Each structure stands twice: as structure tokens, then as C-alpha cells.
A and B are shown apart, each in its own frame.
Chain A
């Protein structure tokens, strides 16, 4: 598919004797918000890390705009699960890290980064240190840091999983609000079905042992979305459907671990 922003073909990943990913083929068009959901151990995070270039695939290849991915680069911004800000840097200096490492700091970039911090709701907190921020705010900094390098692809690995339920919902609407500004291509890993549906255009459901794609589901809910969409029958039907797809795997995991 030539117009795909991202294409993964025949991705296999083996950890010792464990087949973590088995022949994954995936194509993502520009500007699409895609969620990966599945039970623990289905390889969704591993696939994201392979796309990021943080881990090599055992077989297969990932292309972004036709270019083969073999290492991390500034065309992809990664938002990690736990906040991993530098404790000795304030919010602004943390947000500029990517540009600093790429050697592309400038006064224009500084203005852009300040604007991004405003966008993620951190205006006035530029000189605060991570230890002075709440978990939700730290994840906002993480998001700003990833967006600051203006990546082609935003990769998010369960970014809200460490947050409490209320903060998590707020962050979901915030993320959508920010995403609407630029409509970047986003890959979002989560184990929460409702989070995946609420955020995404397409939900990719994984199965485990070996990790593989089970189904790719288009989410036809209109945008912009507000939290109340989670209480509509259409939303509930999506939840039921995805749950039915992964229920067996989840029960198995719950019993064996």
C-alpha cells in the first residue's frame, strides 16, 4: 500500500523460545488514531517498541513513509508508560530534551515548545520541577516532549495507566483535544477497552500465545468526542464486541498468573 504512513509486514519477534509476535501485517494511513488492545503478553507493547526502533524484529520490516525503520529517530515521538522526566530539569528543559539531543534547539523551537506546553495545559509551570508536579501533569510534560520534535508518528505506550481513574478520563479528553489540533498519526497501546474505543479511529485487537492480530475494528463514533459518548449504545456495542474477542485470553491469563 503506497499511501500508508506506516506499514509493518511479516513482523515476528522471538524471546528465546517464546514467540511474542507472529507475522504481524499492519498498515496505518496518515492522521489515523490507532489503538492496540489485548491481554497482557499479547505483544502489543513489543510491536510498538519495534516500530519505535527500540527493539529489533526477529523477522519482517517496518516502514515509515516507505523508509525502513532500524533505529529510533526523531520522526517518531515515544510517550512512555511511566513518567520519565529528568528530575534535575524543569518542565521547559524537559520538554526541550528531544530537540536538544537532535541538535535542533533554536529560538523558534523555544517559542514552539512554550506553545506546546500551553497546549497541554502547563502554561505557568515551565520552571517547575517534576517532583513538584502531579502524575497527570508529568504525563502532560511527557506528551509535550514527544510532540516537541514534531514527529511523523506519535507512539504512546499505556501513557495513562499509572493515573487514577478520574485523571485518566480527563487526560483522554485532553489528548483528543490536542490531537484535533494537528491530527498526527498516533499509535496508542492500552489494555483498557473503553480508552481504546474513545480515542481511536481504528482499534487493533491482539491475541496472545503467540501474539498476533485478531481483528481490526473501525470506530465510527463522530468527532469531536466528549466523555458522554462512553454512555451511548454504540459505544457499549464496541466494548462488548472487543471484550468478546479477548475474554478467553484474559480469563486464561488471570487464572495462570
Chain B
């Protein structure tokens, strides 16, 4: 399929979906207590921005996301590197890392709120726990696939272990680490929102849970749509980052 054709089909699909949503909310589920139409949602988003509420919630969620994600990157890469460079550490950590990665740890949200309160720190904890293991698994995998041929090349020049690590293994792992971060952004976003749903003073999750309590469907959908936009933007940003930082990978 040609590029222009693909693009046309994509745009048509999105427009058709929105029209269908509009039609359903007009003719099938007409009760505003259950569904808001796209037009209502769009105007509500504008309202929320104008009133300042949306910006405030966005800011709070963003801070939680950025702090949590930052901590997860540092811890995740450190753990991945440790596991890749030390056999005992790998064997010891692996069951825990695998278990935590496979567990829907968002279920721990109430626990974190109990520990750290309804402020931002319970959300930061949530983000760290849902993301850190994804990043460490990817980092470890990336370090492990360092080409034996290249290791040999480094050895032939008399490279030290430290040089092999810094100048070879780490750059080799970079595409994997970035892929881990990309996966992590989606998880982190879920973590923030779920933790906020369980208890928060502000944030997009808080906006959504208050809207739900009031049966205010327009507000609820406004929150979800903004979250979707952020998710798409984050993925696109990381894809762009991958092309910029690791251009040798995947082409």
C-alpha cells in the first residue's frame, strides 16, 4: 500500500470512529449520565483548560511521572547492569525481577497510599515499581547480547574490562534500554492514573474519579482523551529519540 493511501485510510478510520461515537451518543445512548459525545468532550476540554483545572492536574501528574520515571531509569539501568555483569547477582535477582515484572503491581496502589499518603509520593512509588523492572530486564538483555566478535576485537587491542563495559557493552545496550524506556512510559502513565484514582488531591486520575463520582461524563472523557494524547505523544517522542540516538539500529 502506498504511503499516501495508508495515510488516507488512517485518517478516514479515525474520522469514522469519531462520527460513530457522535452518532451513538445522539441516537443510541442519549442519556448524558452514561456517555458524552465527542463534541461535548471537546468543549469540556477547552473549558477545563480555560478554568485552569486541567493545567493544574496535568502539572501534578507530570511531576509524579517525571520524578518516578527518573528514579526508575537510574535504578532500572543500575540493576540491569549489575545483573549483566555479575552471575550471582543475576541468579539472585532474576526471580524477583521476573515476578515483579509479571505482576500487575498497580494493585499495590492502595498500599502506597497507605504508606505515603494521598500526595505525589505514593504516585512516584507506583511509577517506580511498575517501570523499574521493565527497564532492568531490557538493560540486562541489551548488555548480554554484546557481540562476542566485538568483545574479541576490544581484547585484541588490550582493552580493560572497564573499557569493554563503557565503550562497548553500554553503547550496545542502548537500543534495548531505549526500547525498555518506551515500554516503560506506557506503564508509568497507567501507574500514575491508577494511583490517583485510588486517592489524590489533584492529577488527571483525580479529575477522572471526581467526574465519575458526579456522573459528569464529559469531564471523565476529557481526562481520558488528554491521557490518550499524552500516551501517543510520549511514544512518538521515544520513537524519535530512538532514531536520533541509535540510528544504526533497525535500519
Contact = CB atoms under 8 A, between A and B. Distances in A.
Give the interface centre of A73, A87, A98 by most chain B CB atoms within 10 Å.
A87
Contacts of B246: 88
Interface string B235-251: 00000000000111101
Given A86-B168, A88-B171, A101-B163, A78 B156 contact: yes
Contact of B150 (A52, A54, A73, A86): A86
A133 B168 CA distance: 21
B158 A72 contact: yes
Contacts of B156: 52, 54, 72, 76, 78, 80
Interface residues of A, number: 23
B13 to A, nearest CB: 35
A80 B153 contact: yes
Interface string B134-145: 000000000000
Overall SS of chain B's interface: helix
B157 A74 contact: yes
Contacts of A78: 153, 156
B248 A101 contact: no
24 contacts: A54-B152, A54-B155, A54-B156, A71-B158, A72-B158, A74-B157, A78-B153, A80-B149, A80-B152, A80-B153, A84-B150, A84-B152, A84-B153, A86-B171, A88-B174, A97-B153, A97-B157, A101-B154, A101-B167, A129-B247, A129-B248, A130-B248, A131-B251, A149-B157
B111 to A, nearest CB: 42
Q: Which 5 A-B pairs have the closest CB atoms?
A: A87-B248, A78-B156, A84-B149, A101-B157, A98-B157
B159 interface: yes
Interface residues of B, number: 21
Overall SS of chain A's interface: loop
A76 B174 CA distance: 31
Interface of A: 52, 54, 71-74, 76, 78, 80, 82, 84, 86-88, 97-98, 100-102, 129-131, 149
A74 B163 CA distance: 15
Nearest to A74: B158
B132 to A, nearest CB: 26
A74 B159 CA distance: 10
Nearest to B155: A72
A52 B154 CA distance: 12
A129 B147 CA distance: 18
A100 B171 CA distance: 16
A131 B250 CA distance: 11
Interface string B213-250: 00000000000000000000000000000000011110
Contacts of B154: 101
Contacts of A84: 147, 149-150, 152-153
A160 to B, nearest CB: 17
A237 B42 CA distance: 87
Interface in B149-183: 149-150, 152-159, 163, 167-168, 171, 174
Given A86-B171, A130-B248, 20 more contacts: A54-B156, A71-B158, A72-B155, A72-B157, A78-B156, A80-B153, A80-B156, A84-B153, A86-B150, A86-B168, A88-B246, A97-B157, A98-B157, A100-B167, A101-B154, A101-B157, A101-B159, A101-B167, A102-B157, A149-B157
Contacts of A131: 248, 251
Nearest to A130: B248
A88 B163 contact: no
Contact of A73 (B158, B247, B248, B249): B158
Nearest to A87: B248
Contacts of B247: 129
Nearest to A82: B149
A131 B149 CA distance: 17
B157 to A, nearest CB: 5
B170 to A, nearest CB: 11
Contacts of A88: 171, 174, 246, 248
Contacts of B152: 54, 80, 84
